[in-house]
Structure 1
């Protein structure tokens, strides 16, 4: 029920497009723009593309999310957004590290990930996974480890700060980190964690789940 109400609310926020053509994707837009596409069959179908610019807002010329049909803008909205298309809707959303949802949801409830533009971060990462699956798995594994380490360090620093409050210390005692990173070390960990989070986001694994290891067959 919540999903239905959310979808209706997002559909109500969609505005008509201005009929402008889809701008070409440029290399310098790697970290500010994503483009996804899906080809829908039938007389009402065509090629639908979603141009996502999470950093855009009402004060910028571009909308955060724009829907194009055969290269012409037909709708626009703020993120998260739901666009009506023949046979279903296209749902898009952005998170802290990038796009976290770009799916076609059919009227029957099936979900399909849209195809990323080959020049985008998502498209380049998908190409790496296709061409070098083992290297892709290794990159994902490193990203997960970095995120876990960064999360544990943040948790430890938080516990240390909270338990050193006199009122809490009197009840549960204190927790002291076994080591403390320098300011430079904290910056490095923060940057690595952000990069790892971005890597997981562009593979649409925003919950930091790692890919199944190449070469292993799923049972059942």
Structure 2
């Protein structure tokens, strides 16, 4: 969950909506857009559909924002991480390097649940695979973790070696020689495989700071 300090900062970033309609998800948008929905009961007892739309490659100005819609009309927008007040709690939206790592409703009673991905989105298709082919889904998940562990074990020593060769680092700390030396084509293959694995995990809103890039973002 987002800390209280970050929630206060996120609250100041919220901008009011302009009422524009929510655009439906297009077939060419699975890697550039995420769309999640949440059914809630409004103050008057009516059912409301809240939707979170994030353009992963940024809006027209290049900034990645979460846009919140109520019953298909634009209600609010915010830079990420975002915390939107809604009836009975709030919606927290946090991005990773490969998609979203959090899009959850946090109730005033402390309950937490993930929003439902739009069925036409990449996240929705991945969720459908999990429902219809749970065995295959688990296998894909295990393979994704295995790829990231292998990439971490083989890649980090080589990265440390390259960093140690930077003159100021070498002068003060000395150089490090990685015990693992891979050919260029294999390093490229590992990078591509790791990108695919982390993207697959992001489709399920799975995130670990060590496996999914947080190590190099200063997270932990």
Instruction: Tell me the TM-score range normalised by the shorter chain.
Output: 0.7 to 0.9
CA shift, 1:100, in A, is 0.7
Q: Which residue of 2 aligns with 1:84?
A: 85
* Unpaired runs of at least 5, structure 1: 210-220
Q: Which residue of 2 aligns with 1:23?
A: 23
Q: How does 1:46-125 map to 2 (within 5 A)?
A: 46-57=48-59, 59=61, 64-125=65-126
Conserved? CA contact 1:51–1:65, under 8 Å: yes
Which shifted more, 5-14 or 107-116? 5-14
Per the alignment, in what secondary structure is the counterpart of residue 23 of structure 2?
coil
* Alpha-carbon distance between aligned partners in 1 of 2:190 and 2:100, rounded to the nearest angstrom: 23
Count of aligned residue pairs for this structure pair: 203
* Alpha-carbon distance between aligned partners in 2 of 1:22 and 1:174, rounded to the nearest angstrom: 53
Q: Which residue of 2 aligns with 1:143?
A: 144
Relative to structure 1, is the Cα distance of residues 19 and 159 closer, same or farther in structure 2, using a 3 angstrom cutoff? Answer: closer
Relative to structure 1, is the Cα distance of residues 174 and 65 closer, same or farther in structure 2, using a 3 angstrom cutoff? Answer: closer
CA shift, 1:176, in A, is 4.0
Conserved? CA contact 1:80–1:94, under 8 Å: yes
Per the alignment, in what secondary structure is the counterpart of residue 189 of structure 2?
helix
Per the alignment, in what secondary structure is the counterpart of residue 150 of structure 2?
helix
- TM-score normalized by the length of structure 1: 0.83
CA shift, 1:79, in A, is 1.2
Conserved? CA contact 1:162–1:168, under 8 Å: no
Per the alignment, in what secondary structure is the counterpart of residue 27 of structure 1?
coil
* Unpaired runs of at least 5, structure 2: 211-220
Let me know the Cα RMSD of the aligned residues: 2.4
CA deviations 1:142-176 (Å, max 9, x no partner) are 1111101111121121344467758756xxx9644
Conserved? CA contact 2:154–2:180, under 8 Å: no
Per the alignment, in what secondary structure is the counterpart of residue 141 of structure 2?
helix
